[in-house]
Amino acid sequence: MDNWHKWAELLERVREANPLVHHITNVVVTNFTANGLLALGASPVMAYAKEEVAEMAKLAGALVLNIGTLNATEVEAMLMAGRAANEAGVPVIFDPVGAGATSYRTETARYIAEQIKLAAVRGNAAEIANMIGEPWMIKGVDAGQGSGDVVALAKRAAAKLGTVVAITGKEDVVTDGQATYLIRNGHPLLTKVTGTGCLLTSVVGAFAAVEPDVVKAAVAALAYYGVAAEQAAAEAEKHGPGSFQAAFLDALARIGVDDVKRDGRVEQR
């Protein structure tokens, strides 16, 4: 049995604990994220007001910050929530949506990573590269994973940001700069439903709420998520993205530790 088979059991711990996950996220993915966390067996809450974010973050098992539709008021609230979470020892998971697309996004992503102690950052290769000043876009187009060594990028990012980094795409990488894992699950239909990256960041948050070793939490979360997507695609691929979205929520709720252990493709690097 590989190490990570034991970590797959964190799925059960999440379902037993039903952790509260406080989100300050984007307007596109709010409903899908809440439904995805409910399907997993966690307890989502979205709270944005400066008057309440610190209190909510301290109550939560994890705080997820996502800059997908950022504005100045929301960024202030993220910093307040992040500081409160840091004081209370609540893990903060960050999704740098669109870092590199505009300078506002890039600068905000970097500022949040400087100001807040992050337990993990989850993004695609372009976002993570841009966060650490390694432009990945070619003429405004995400150059994709083929344009570079994603494992090496993830390690540089973990060292520079001082946090666990998860880079997702066709293959996913998780590293804290020392231990590095590759997860080869998932399905291309995930790229045809908006918010699958954002929901994944929140799922990492739910796992981090029950496991302080964030590498373990992130590997378990990504394997679970990818295996659920494969089962959903097997049912819904013939219909298309709408059916896949529903089948994916069903699979997130249905699959168990045994499915993840059987179908997970995790490899240490």
Ligand X SMILES: Nc1ncnc2c1ncn2[C@@H]1O[C@H](COP(=O)(O)OP(=O)(O)OP(=O)(O)O)[C@@H](O)[C@H]1O
Residues tagged in the binding site annotation for substrate: 46, 195
Three-state DSSP at 181 gives strand
Confirm or reject binding of residue 169 to Mg ion (CB under 5 A). no
Out of 96, 123, 195, 226, name the contact with ligand Cc1ncsc1CCO by CB under 6 A: 195
Tokens at residue 252, please?
């997130």
Instruction: State the Cα–Cα distance between residues 129 and 47, nearest whole angstrom.
Output: 29
Can you list the positions of beta strands (E) in the chain? 20-24, 43-46, 62-66, 92-95, 120-124, 137-138, 141-142, 164-168, 172-175, 180-183, 266-268
Out of 112, 120, 198, 255, name the contact with ligand X by CB under 6 A: 198
Tokens at residue 42, please?
């966690």
Confirm or reject binding of residue 69 to ligand Cc1ncsc1CCO (CB under 6 A). yes
Which entry of ligand X, ligand Cc1ncsc1CCO, Mg ion, none binds 28, CB below 5 to 8 A by partner kind?
ligand Cc1ncsc1CCO
Confirm or reject binding of residue 96 to Mg ion (CB under 5 A). no
Which residues sit in the known binding site? 46, 122, 168, 195
Confirm or reject binding of residue 190 to ligand X (CB under 6 A). yes
Instruction: State the Cα–Cα distance between residues 83 and 178, nearest whole angstrom.
Output: 27
User: Kind of pairing, strands 43-46 and 20-24?
Assistant: parallel
Residue nearest ligand Cc1ncsc1CCO (C-beta atom): 68
Three-state DSSP at 68 gives coil
Q: Which residues lie near ligand X (CB under 6 A)?
A: 97, 123-124, 168-170, 172, 186-188, 190-191, 195-198, 200, 225-226
Residues that bind Mg ion (CB under 5 A): 97, 197
Which residue ranges make up the site for ligand Cc1ncsc1CCO (CB under 6 A)? 26, 28-29, 68-69, 97, 194-195, 197-198
